[in-house]
Amino acid sequence: MEQVHILLHCARLSINEFFDAYDSAETVGITVFIVLSLIWLKNFLFQEESLAARINRVVFKVAKILPAVSLKIECEKKKATNDFQTNMLRLHEGRPYVTHLPKTGWSRERILEEVKSNLKLGHYKWKEGYVSGCVYNLNDELVKILTEVYGLASYTNPLHPDIFPGACKMEAEVVRMTLNLFHGSEEACGTMTSGGTESILMACKSYRDYAVEEKGIKHPEIVIPVTAHPAFDKAASYFGLRIKHVPVDPDTTTVDLKAMRRYISRNTCMIAGSAPNFPYGTIDPIEDIAALGRKYNIPVHVDSCLGGFITAFMDKAGVSHPPYDFSIPGVTSISADTHKYGFAPKGSSVIMYSEKKFLHHQYCVFPDWPGGVYGSPTVNGSRAGGIIAACWATLMYFGVEGYADATKKILQTTKYIEEGLRKMEEIFIFGKPGTSVIAIGSNVFHIYLLSEGLTKKGWNLNPLQFPCGIHLCVTYMHTADGVADKFLSDVREEIEIIMKNPKADVAGKTDHHTGLCEKQAESSLDKQHEPSSLMAMYGMAQSIPDRSVVGDFTRYFLDAMYITKGANEEVYRNGFK
Ligand SMILES: *Cc1c(COP(=O)(O)O)cnc(C)c1O
Ligand SMILES: *[C@@H]1O[C@H](CO)[C@@H](O)[C@H](O)[C@H]1NC(C)=O
């Protein structure tokens, strides 16, 4: 105590001595300067992006100004753009693009002919089960029914409940049926959306507004596992939320709960888990996440977009599992996609809440608009009654038995493939597949080699990164006779080929590093079908330390989707035969 006093006294003396040389105004000035500098220093040191990451970014930024580097980058960007475009043009097989409205409307025959030939493009045999995920079921009878249903409802819009009460009724029924599948109480509620992303966006928006308006949180944050879907990042970017990505346990690939607890703060407005996640198909410990939510009084979202219509029928399919739904206290919302394992056509999903108080923050209401009192439940104003009716029809078509049967077949096929793969010692499976996704890695060779090999055999799998992997999302398409066996034998065959030279590099990676930009830029339409291009891009992307370049490349990839240039454009413009 004594010593502290003496210290304080000394400090005071020296400060007084220092300021003796200045008059009062100067003293105030210096003090303000020091305080502001300290605040700046604090803000500089403690930011969301770590100091190391920022230094890294600045270094790359400066490096990119160097003529040699910037030239190289420009060259690579041109090459990437060119490659993406060439690839897209190749996929379109030189078919002409419509770039202007036809002068006079087309006939029915003309339209159908054109749509049919557009839909013929593409070489993957998705109907034969060669593609991971993507199309979850295909059934000629159902397609016929849906076509008719869509036709009947195509002009309806639940934005006008007085004019189209039937569309509204069907939406309400889809929501209630889904709520009942997920053990929602009477209090539980929800809406349909246009897809999983919109469902997740809606949950994040609801919780942001709930936190701001009900709890007085000024800067809401969401805490999600790093394996959660990018729709959460999209929500953070759209809605100005801070987002914290919690690491996963490398063995189980499910969220590290201790880390999740650490990431929770006073500003957390939502925590989430996936049942299952997209990359590995593993299921986060939802009960434990819900317990965290209860403990800290934070809403908990379960993303069951991918596997909701599997997990909900697992009991009936005879597969025991822990609960992932509203039967767990603390789970406040669930997203489940009817357009994935619900087998409905694309454009539908359901977002569900345990209580109205959350849903009310999803709604947008504008009581003062000159156009009338406006209220809308989701992102869209006008909504497609036809899609709602088609989704409703799909649910009614399958019924509990239909879904339980599909679930059983899909899970059996998944198990069969998983067991077959586990017998191959050159590869491993990430974690324990929770439903229908199997992620494969290898410690012996670069796993993208397997992917490239399988692509040559007509398979289309999803690439994973950090760490490298590939996954197969098993759908009803894979349950057909012989598909699983064909997959396993193709994998075995490819591994044998790879093991002759297991240290080989992924095609794209080696190509890329030759750096012969000009030569590659010559790639032209008639270049051989090159199945490895996507894998090559991934191989390359992982080796680029500056992620902003990868971001730019992704933009060029998206640009290429909207390409409408080509040799025969004129044919359309001048109106043809
Ligand atoms: C597909 C998916 C989503 C997003 O759904 P979209 O319908 O593509 O918008 C969200 N979460 C998971 C786990 C998914 O697999
Ligand atoms: C919402 O709008 C998007 C695009 O604007 C559309 O694709 C989607 O079908 C719409 N959703 C519904 C339910 O109408």
Listing DSSP states for 283-308 in one string gives ---HHHHHHHHHHHT--EEEEETTTH
pLDDT grade for 3, boundaries at 50, 70 and 90: confident
- Write the DSSP symbol of residue 505: P
* Residue closest by Cα to atom 2 of ligand 2: 380
Question: 404 near 309, Cβ under 8 Å?
Answer: no
**pLDDT digits over 293-324, tens only?**
999 999 999 999 999 999 999 999 999 999 99
The confidence band for 9, taking pLDDT boundaries of 50, 70 and 90, is confident
- What is d(CA 288, CA 307) in angstroms, rounded to the nearest whole number? 19
Task: Return the pLDDT at 549.
Answer: 81
Ligand nearest to the CA of 382: 2
Q: At 423, is the pLDDT very low, low, confident or very high (cuts 50, 70, 90)?
A: very high
In this prediction, residue 521 has a pLDDT band, given cuts at 50, 70 and 90, of: very low
Average pLDDT over residues 212-232: 97
Mean pLDDT of 284-288: 98
Is the model's pLDDT at 508 over the cut of 70? no
| Confidence band, pLDDT 50/70/90 cuts, at residue 13 | confident
pLDDT of residue 92: 87
Categorize the per-residue pLDDT at 87 as very low, low, confident or very high, splitting at 50, 70 and 90.
confident
- The answer, yes or no, to whether any atom of ligand 2 lies below 6 A from the CB of 380, is yes
- Of all protein residues, the one whose alpha carbon is nearest to atom 1 of ligand 2 is 380
Ligand whose nearest atom lies closest to the CA of 348: 2
**Contact indicator for 430, 280 with CB cutoff of 8 Å:** yes
Answer whether 284 contacts ligand 1 (Cβ < 6 A): no
Q: Which atom of ligand 1 is nearest to the CA of 196?
A: 5
- In this prediction, residue 524 carries a pLDDT of 33
Helix (H) or strand (E) holding 571: helix 569-573
Which ligand number lies closest to the CA of residue 201?
1
- pLDDT score for 165: 93
Q: What is the number of the ligand 2 atom nearest to the C-alpha of 348?
A: 13
Could you tell me the two tokens for 224?
Answer: 């999600």
pLDDT band at 516 (very low <50, low <70, confident <90, very high): very low
CB count within 10 Å of CB 439 equals 25
Bigger pLDDT: 126 vs 255: 255
Atom of ligand 2 nearest to the CA of 382: 14
How far, in Å, from the CA of 47 to the mean position of ligand 2? 37
Q: Which residue has the tokens 């993957």?
A: 124
Q: What architecture is domain 148-398?
A: 3-Layer(aba) Sandwich (3.40)
By percentage, how much of the chain surpasses pLDDT 70? 91
| Ligand 2 contact, 383 CB (< 6 A) | yes
The predicted structure's pLDDT at residue 43:
84
Residue 363 CB contacts under 8 Å (≥ 6 apart), including other chains? 375, 376, 377
Q: Which atom of ligand 2 is nearest to the CA of 379?
A: 1
| Residue of higher predicted confidence among 61 and 396 | 396
**Averaged pLDDT for residues 397-423:** 97
Pocket test for ligand 2, best of 159, 339, 348, 380 (most atoms within 8 A of CB): 380
Evaluate if residue 405 carries a pLDDT over 60: yes
Verify whether ligand 2 is closer than 6 Å to residue 339 (CB atom): no
Gap between the terminal Cα atoms of the chain: 100
What's at 35, amino acid-wise?
V
Which atom number of ligand 1 is nearest to the Cα of residue 229?
11
**How far is it, in rounded angstroms, from Cα 98 to Cα 104?**
14
Average pLDDT, the chain: 89
* pLDDT score at 566: 57
Q: Is the CB–ligand 1 distance for residue 276 below 6 Å?
A: no
Ligand nearest to the CA of 158: 2
Least confident stretch, 172-181, 385-394, 562-571: 562-571
d(CA 409, CA 517) in angstroms, rounded, equals: 49
Given pLDDT bands bounded at 50, 70 and 90, which one contains residue 540? low
pLDDT over threshold 50, residue 571:
no
Determine which helix (DSSP H) or strand (DSSP E) holds 487, and give its type and residue range: helix 483-498
| Ligand 1 site, residue 277, Cβ cutoff 6 A | yes
pLDDT at 535: 58
Q: Write down the pLDDT at residue 499.
A: 95
pLDDT over 90, % of the chain: 66
Cα 515 to averaged position of ligand 1 atoms, centre (Å): 36
For ligand 2, atom 11, the nearest C-alpha belongs to: 194
Q: How far apart are CA 435 and CA 317, in angstroms?
A: 12
Q: Which residue spans of the chain are classified as CATH 3.40.640.10?
A: 148-398
**Ligand 1 close to Cβ of residue 274 (< 6 A):** yes
479 near 409, Cβ under 8 Å? yes
The answer to whether 294 touches 330, Cβ cutoff 8 Å, is yes
The residue with greater pLDDT, 486 or 75, is 486
Contacts of 225 (CB under 8 A, 6+ apart): 245, 246, 247, 248, 254, 255, 260, 272, 273, 274, 277, 284
Rounded to the nearest whole angstrom, what is the distance from the C-alpha of residue 230 to the centroid of ligand 1? 8
**Which ligand places an atom closest to the C-alpha of 385?**
2
Is residue 245 predicted with pLDDT exceeding 70?
yes
304 ligand 1 Cβ < 6 A: no
- Within the chain, what is the greatest distance between any pair of CA atoms? 102
Counting ligand 1 atoms within 8 A of each CB, the residue from 305, 341, 351, 464 with the most, and so the one to mutate, is 305
Distance 339 CA to ligand 1 centre (A): 10
Residues recorded for the chain: 577
Answer yes or no: is pLDDT of 473 > 90: yes
Nearest CA to ligand 1 atom 6: 196
The model's pTM:
0.86
195 Cα to the center of ligand 2, angstroms: 9
pLDDT over threshold 80, residue 453 = yes
Check if 384 has its Cβ closer than 6 Å to any atom of ligand 2. Answer: yes
Nearest ligand to the C-alpha atom of residue 376: 2
Lowest-confidence region among 10-24, 26-40, 431-445, 471-485: 10-24
How many Å lie between the centroid of ligand 2 and the Cα of residue 12? Answer: 68
